[in-house]
Amino acid sequence: MKLIESFHSSYIEERRVTRLSKHLSDLLPTNASVLDIGCGSGQLAKRIHRDRQDLKFSGIDVLLRKKTWMPVQLFDGHVIPLETNSVDVAMFVDVLHHTNDPMSLLCEATRVARCSVIIKDHLLEGVLAGPTLRMMDHIGNARYGVVSPGNYWRRQQWDGVFATLRMKPVRWRESLGLYPLVLEQLFGRSLHFVTSLEFDEAA
C-alpha cells in the first residue's frame, strides 16, 4: 500500500491537480472571491490562481495540515464561519462524499455564496462503481486521516438535491481526463463530474 500511495502522490495527484485546475478555471467567474471548502493543503487553489490571478481564494477545512499553500481556517464541518453572501463562489472539490450530511453543508454553501456553487464530486454510475470509489478514496486520503463514509450519489440524486436547493447546473462535465489513458477506463469513466450551479430565480 505504501508503494501505491507513493505512486499516487508523485504521479496521479500531480495530473489530477493539473487537469482539475483547468476545468475549474473555466467554471470560475471573473474577479471572484472563492471559498474553497475542504481545501486540504490549498494546492489546487494555488494552481488555479497561477493562471487566474483575478481570483481571490480563502480556505476552510476540518483538518489542518502541517504544510499549506494558503491560509486555512479550521471549521467544524457543519457551519461555515462566514457571514451570509460574503463570497462570490463556494467551491467543493471531492469533499461532499466525505461528509455525513452533504445536504446540510450544501445549504451552508448557498448561504455564504452570492453567485454560484462549484462542485467536483463522484457519480455512483457503472459497474462496481461503489467499490472502485471506496478504493480510490482510501488510497488518496487515508494517510491524511480523512474520513471516507462513502456517500456517493447517482446523477438522479444530485439533480434532486439541486432542485431542493433551488439551484440549477449551468455547466456540467463528466469527461475530465484525470488519469493516464491506461487507468482512465478503470478510475475515470462515468465516476467523476464538475458542475457550476447558479441560483434558479424561477424556482
The confidence band for 187, taking pLDDT boundaries of 50, 70 and 90, is: low
Contact between 25 and 173 under an 8 Å Cβ cutoff? The reply is no
Question: What's 86's domain CATH number?
Answer: 3.40.50.150
The count of structural domains within the chain is: 1
What is the extent of the structural domain holding 138? 2-199
Q: Tens of pLDDT along 1-28? A: 443 444 444 457 888 899 999 999 999 9
For residue 141, the model assigns a pLDDT of 60
Q: Tens of pLDDT along 125-146? A: 877 777 878 887 766 665 556 6
Q: What is the dihedral of CA 164, 168, 173, 174, to 10 degrees?
A: 20
Residue 79, CB half-sphere, CA atoms under 13 Å: how many?
4
Q: Tell me the residue length of the chain.
A: 203
Contact between 179 and 197 under an 8 Å Cβ cutoff? The reply is no
**pTM for this prediction:** 0.87
Q: Tens of pLDDT along 40-49? A: 999 999 999 9
